[in-house]
Amino acid sequence: MAMNVELLERTAAELVASGKGILAADESNGTMSNRLIAVGVEPSAEARRAYRSNIFATQGYESAISGVILFDETIRQTMDDGTPIPEYLASRGIHPGIKVDTGAKELANYSGEKITEGLDGLRERCAEYFQMGARFAKWRAVIRIGEGMPSVACFSTNSHALARYASICQEQGLVPIIEPEVLMEGSHDAQRCYDVTAEVLKRTWTECRNQGVHLPGVLLKPNMIMPGKGCPDKGSRDEVARMTVECLTSQVPKEVPGIVFLSGGQSDEDATAHLNLMNAMDIDHPWELSYSYGRALLAHALQTWAEGSNEASQNAFKHRANMNSLARSGDWKVELEN
């Protein structure tokens, strides 16, 4: 199957259109169930569907959300009126996306490190998801910093898998979001995060070129450059923004149309503030700087939904989406949070 370059480039550009970002609603059934339990809701396929369909039905969020990443269960579910979820999202001008990796597993011979699996049968799954309406996909690699970590093997296996995934997605018409996440776990400082992030990005782009990935039809979902949670020097928001932009400028090819950050355990406001500072810099970036947040868009919305208010949940989601939309142009202010 020949790659449809025009479709890939158009979809990628629409996903990072001005003022817009991506909602990551692709938690696995187990993860989503745990979040429901944490807010006092009995987990089930119906509970997961009801919560997500309520979020997707929010009025007016199209101005801030260009795409929604779904899990396999969710892409097969329906809205309350029986409309398939991907069909409903598309009717609102929002691209349905799909998580296609099958999770991070132990990396053989390297205790404490992970390799993301899911390449087996990926071509066939991508073809099915495209027919179901998906137009982009996501694959997350997990990079942990610690004593002797990450190893060369961790860099090598994960960068190769990310590129292989990307090439298969593009062949099937899906824009691949490449997500090499350097975790915040640990006591490392921000410079160590910078160095590891730069190395994994360098290796990933080399693999992408080796495997024929069309870079104008790819989006990158990286972590921001931050110290580990156990580091006593937390740094400032300005330092996070500056180091992140410096790292990306040194490693991300200009052909890549957009960078959609993960929130990675940051608070809602920190995730917005960091993105805002980056976009407010007097620097002409070759790529769009956007967001692909999950908890940083939905944490409050989930709590209010669990308390029984569909409307309050939708309002909480819309507020966070609007705050991050403003951050796309450096126009967010903390006073707007009140």
CATH number at residue 124: 3.20.20.70
Residue 94 confidence (pLDDT): 98
**Bridge partners, 175 (sequence order):** 136
Identify the CA nearest to 317 among candidates 291, 331, 299, 335: 299
pLDDT band, residue 264 (cuts 50/70/90): confident
Report the distance separating Cα 322 and Cα 58, nearest Å. Answer: 12
Report the distance separating Cα 120 and Cα 126, nearest Å. Answer: 11
Mean pLDDT of the chain: 97
Residue 265 confidence (pLDDT): 85
Report the distance separating Cα 229 and Cα 207, nearest Å. Answer: 30
Structural domain span for residue 153: 5-337
Q: Are 139 and 178 in contact (CB under 8 A)?
A: yes
Q: How many CB atoms lie within 10 A of CB 9?
A: 16
Q: Are 238 and 200 in contact (CB under 8 A)?
A: no
Task: Using a pLDDT cut of 70, give the percent of the chain over it.
Answer: 100
What is the reported pTM? 0.97
pLDDT 10s digits, 46-55: 999 999 999 9
Per-residue pLDDT at 89 exceeds 80: yes
Q: Exposure of 111 by Cβ count < 10 A (0-12 exposed, 13-18 middle, 19+ buried)?
A: exposed
Per-residue pLDDT at 144 exceeds 90: yes
Residue 305 confidence (pLDDT): 97
104 SS3 class: strand
Active-site choice (221, 229, 234, 254) = 221
**Angle subtended at Cα 24 by Cα 14 and Cα 211, rounded to the nearest 5 degrees:** 65
First to last CA, the chain: 51
Please confirm, yes or no, whether 221 is among the known catalytic residues. yes
Beta-strand relationship, 104-106 and 21-25: unpaired
The average pLDDT across 206-233 equals: 97
202: CB partners within 8 A, 6+ apart? 251
pLDDT 10s digits, 3-18: 899 999 999 999 999 9
Identify the CA nearest to 136 among candidates 29, 270, 287, 292: 292
Dihedral pair phi/psi, residue 136, rounded to 5°: -150, 165
The average pLDDT across 230-247 equals: 95
Per-residue pLDDT at 338 exceeds 80: no
216 SS3 class: helix
The average pLDDT across 169-194 equals: 97
Residue 234 confidence (pLDDT): 87
Residue 142 confidence (pLDDT): 98
Residue 2 confidence (pLDDT): 75
Distance of CA 189 to the CA centre of its chain: 23
Residue with tokens 């066939």: 124
Residue 226 confidence (pLDDT): 96
Residue 124 confidence (pLDDT): 98
Radius of gyration of the chain (CA): 19
Q: Which two tokens stand for residue 105?
A: 């597993």
The stretches of the chain forming alpha helices (DSSP H) are: 5-15, 29-38, 45-56, 72-75, 85-91, 122-131, 152-171, 190-210, 237-251, 268-280, 295-306, 310-327
Domain total of the chain: 1
pLDDT 10s digits, 270-312: 999 999 999 999 988 899 999 999 999 999 999 999 999 999 9
- The amino acid sitting at 263 is S
236 SS3 class: coil
pLDDT 10s digits, 152-176: 999 999 999 999 999 999 999 999 9
